[in-house]
């Protein structure tokens, strides 16, 4: 019995960032939707947690997270990284599942 069969409603997955031009993401989410799940896309930015929370997903799927933390100023990068970490902690209290697919590990 799959996870989808155990639920009364379809699973909702929020992905960020999402690039419609990326064939990997397009194929992945097309297959997930074919299994009956709903996929919503979010835009990374200062208020990404509010955006994700408004969708009330079962799973949040992160891809390239470095854009939420990198910048030219070292101290600002540290601040953005700490902020991102605090937002993840808040997210863990609200969302049952968090997935991060590691891409481009040189970043």
What was the pLDDT predicted at 39? 93
Going by pLDDT thresholds of 50, 70 and 90, the confidence category of residue 1 is very low
Q: What is the pLDDT of residue 57?
A: 92
> pLDDT value at position 81?
87
- Structure confidence by residue, pLDDT tens digits, 89-106: 988 888 888 988 887 666
Q: What is the pTM for the complete model shown?
A: 0.76
Averaged confidence pLDDT in the chain: 83
Nearest to 15 by CA among 52, 34, 41, 36: 41
pLDDT digits (tens, 9 = 90+) for 32-54: 999 999 999 887 776 788 888 88
At CB < 8 A and 24+ separation, what contacts does 40-49 make? Answer: 40/12, 40/13, 40/14, 40/15, 41/14, 41/15, 41/16, 42/14, 42/15, 42/16, 42/17, 42/18, 43/16, 43/17, 44/16, 44/17, 44/68, 48/16, 48/87, 49/87, 49/90, 49/91
């Amino acid at each position: 019995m799959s996870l989808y069969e155990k639920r009364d409603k379809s699973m909702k997955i929020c992905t960020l960032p999402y690039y419609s031009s990326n064939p990997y993401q397009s194929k992945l989410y097309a297959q997930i939707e074919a299994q009956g799940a709903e996929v919503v896309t979010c835009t990374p930015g200062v208020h990404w947690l509010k955006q994700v929370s408004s969708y009330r997903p079962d799973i949040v799927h992160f891809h390239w997270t470095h854009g939420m933390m990198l910048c030219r100023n070292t101290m600002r990068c540290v601040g953005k990284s700490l902020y991102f970490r605090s937002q993840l902690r808040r997210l863990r209290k609200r969302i049952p599942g968090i997935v991060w697919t590691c891409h481009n590990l040189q970043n």
